[in-house]
Structures are given as C-alpha cells and as structure tokens.
A = this chain, B = another copy of it.
C-alpha cells in the first residue's frame, strides 16, 4: 500500500506539472482554436461510443455487485442516447462566447490613462466529483472553454466510464493541435490522489472545485491547502407569504419539491405564514401528498393537515434530496428570514407573494446565492440562467457565487494604455 501511495503521489505531481504547462499554452489560444478543439473532442466522444459503453458496462456490473441503489445506477448508466447528449453538451459549450479577453469595465482617467478590466484564465483547476461519467466531459469542456487546464478526479464507481470519456476527449483535443494535457483524469481510484490534489500538487493547482457528499466536504475543509470554490448542500426554502396568490403557491411549491427531488435546487423546507396556513396549506399539502411526497410538519402545520408526521429539530437542517418536505408555519417575513438564516445553506430561497414590499425585503435581506420571487427554486441552474452550462452552484461568497459557468471560471487583469504618463 505504501509503495502504491508513493507511486500515485509521484504521478499526481507530474500531472500537476503537465497541467501547468498546458495552461500556459491554453491561455494564448484564440477563440476559434478553442471552439474547434471542443468540437473535435465532442466528435471523438461520439467515435469512441463503443469503448465508452464497454467501460460503462464494467462499472455497472461492479456497482450492481456492490448493491448500489437504483437511482445511483441510473446516474451511472450510459447508452447511445446519453453519449450523444454528452457530446452535444460539449458542442454547446464550444459554441458559447469565449469569456477570455472580454472586457466588462473600461474607463479613462483624467490623465489620459485608459484602463480596461480584461478576463483571463485562472490557470489549473482541480475538480473532484461524484460517480457521474457525464461530468467528466462537462467539466473538461467548461474549464477548457475558459482557458483553464483541469485535473479531474471522478468517483471510483464510475472510473472506467470516466477514463474512456477522458481518453476520447484528450484524443479530440490532440487531433485539433492543442495539448491533450489540458484535460487530465487521475488514472487511479486510490484515495491518496484526493489528498494530493487537496495539498495542491506542489503549488500547481490554482483552484479546487469539490463536489460530493458530506465526507468529501469535511475532508476538504480539513485538508485543503488551495483555494476552494465550494458546492455545498442546497437546503432550499420556499416561503408562502400571507399575500401569496394561491394558484402560484400551489404550482411553485409542487414544482420546487417534486419536479426532481435529487438536485441541489429542490426545495427541502416549506414555510407558510400563519394567516394563510388554514386556507392554503391543506391545498398545497394535498397536492404534494398526491404526488407521493412525505410531509413532516411543525405542530401548527400538523394541526391544519392531518396526513403529516411531526418534524424533529433535525428535519429543519436536513437536505433530503428525496420526496420528503419539512413544513413550518411562521409569523411573517421576519420569522421566515430568521428560520432561513438559522437552518439554510445560503443556496436558493423563494418567496411567494403579491406584495412587492415584502418581496423586495426578502430579496434584499436573505443572503443566499440565489433569491427568487414567485418562481420555482428548481431554476437554480446555469442553463436556466442562460450560462449555457455549469459546473455546479457555488454557495461561498468569494470569487464566484451561484451557477458556475465558463465565465465564472476566469480571473481578470487590468490593462492600462498610456502615452508616456509618469506619476506626479
């Protein structure tokens, strides 16, 4: 074991150096070169469909032997249609505007200096993610689009699939004349590789993007020696204000909880104003029950809708990612915001109301990455925001917050054009 760890540690250091070298080349590619390289990667994935399906069959067989859940197997499974969707996703990212070189701020100083803030790549990104093979292509393409090299470390259960996808992706890049090492996948399921990435690979990793369960997040918080763009849990709230429109409230709550229960933007807690709980909560609750949702309510919620379990203190802090919703009756917007501040994860929260003043207070004072008025929390998604694609939803307050697309994976520098100015 010791020998293996040493060997993977050495491999990782070399990967870091290769990534750094590739990043230097990437930073200087023009938009057309990046676009055509990504289209080449997409086509290489299509051409490698046979290899990818074979690798996926290996992963699926092992996952079944390990007794993994049906929903897990579904996320892991690939077929021709999913491979085509993955390749089409890479083509879509290829077609996005190039964020690099764009200038969002320009001004001229009284002394004639012209200053522009221009987007630049970040450099080398380390990405640790769950056993979802399609993320290999998505994350590789988004990082590449923004001129960054990426070192990918996917979940062990999808290793063969991810490796086959990454191999095709890299062959595509190479065929387009750009460094294959722009996208590297750790060629091992050894957990020591994660530790090496968290330690920064001797200073070669500029930014770490961890995605995964609580044990990964805890390990990142303990061990990471590099800047982290965190994607924590989405304990999203929907607050039905006393002046909510009943139809909107029913439709939004049902959609926010039940459209897809396993995504981070799914609602986990419903807050309902006392003054409308008696009339509105039974209707909302009946919709949810009819759709197969289990309800866990506070005392006041249970009092107005019988088919509800009592919620425990733990429920308010639980991201179910399942057809379960905690329900609390509150006394107005202040109480709702206090509940969100205490239990929320600063991901996405929604207020449903026809009262503009209440909505604006909620939107201004709730400090979550995304705050919505009269719309489903399931809109917390880069594609829905118009970013074309996303690598996740950042819940920290530094660098990027909310959906992280290619533009969010950039830095900037200031370009100053003068005509001989010297400082007095």
Q: What's the minimum C-beta distance from A21 to chain B, rounded to whole angstroms?
A: 12
- Report yes or no: B422 in contact with A251, Cβ–Cβ below 8 A: yes
* Interface flag for A120 (CB, 8 Å): yes
A286 beta carbon closer than 8 Å to chain B: no
Is A421 touching B371 in the complex (CB atoms < 8 A)?
A: no
- A161-174 vs B, CB cutoff 8 Å, 1 = contact: the mask equals 00000000000000
Interface flags, A68-94, vs B, CB<8A=1, else 0: 000000000000000000000000000
Contact with A370, one of B374, B385, B403, B416 (Cβ below 8 angstroms): B416
Query: Given A416-B370, A418-B373, A384–B255 Cβ distance below 8 Å?
Result: no
Q: State in angstroms the CA–CA spacing of A228 and B224 once bound together.
A: 13
Which B-chain residue is minimally distant from A229 (CB atoms)? B398
Could you tell me the distance between the alpha carbons of A245 and B420 in the complex, rounded to whole angstroms? 9
Contacts A397-B206, A413-B371; A376 near B109 (Cβ below 8 A): no
Beta-carbon contact of A420 and B375 below 8 Å: yes
A356 to chain B, nearest CB (A): 10
Q: Which residue of B lies closest to A362 (CB)?
A: B415
What residue of chain B has the Cβ atom nearest to residue A104's Cβ?
B104
Tell me if B206 and A379 are in contact (CB < 8 A): no
Set of chain B residues within 8 Å of A403, measured between Cβ atoms = 414
Known interface pairs A422-B259, A423-B379; A417-B374 also in contact (CB < 8 Å): yes
Q: Which of B252, B367, B399 makes the CB contact (< 8 A) with A27?
A: B367
Minimal beta-carbon separation of A206 from chain B (angstroms): 6
CA distance A396 to B378 in the complex (A): 34
CB distance from A108 to the nearest CB of B (A): 10
Within the assembled complex, what's the spacing in Å between the Cα atoms of A413 and B403? 10
Residues of A within 8 A of B (CB): 27-28, 101, 104, 107, 109, 113, 115, 120, 122-123, 206-207, 227-228, 245, 247-248, 251-252, 254-256, 259, 359, 363-365, 367-376, 378-379, 384-386, 396-399, 401-403, 411-423
Top-5 shortest CB links A-B: A375-B418, A255-B422, A397-B411, A248-B420, A378-B423
**Seed contacts A374-B419, A378-B422; 19 additional CB < 8 Å A-B pairs:** A113-B375, A113-B379, A115-B386, A123-B397, A206-B398, A227-B398, A252-B420, A259-B423, A359-B417, A363-B415, A363-B417, A370-B416, A371-B413, A372-B418, A374-B420, A375-B417, A375-B420, A378-B423, A401-B411
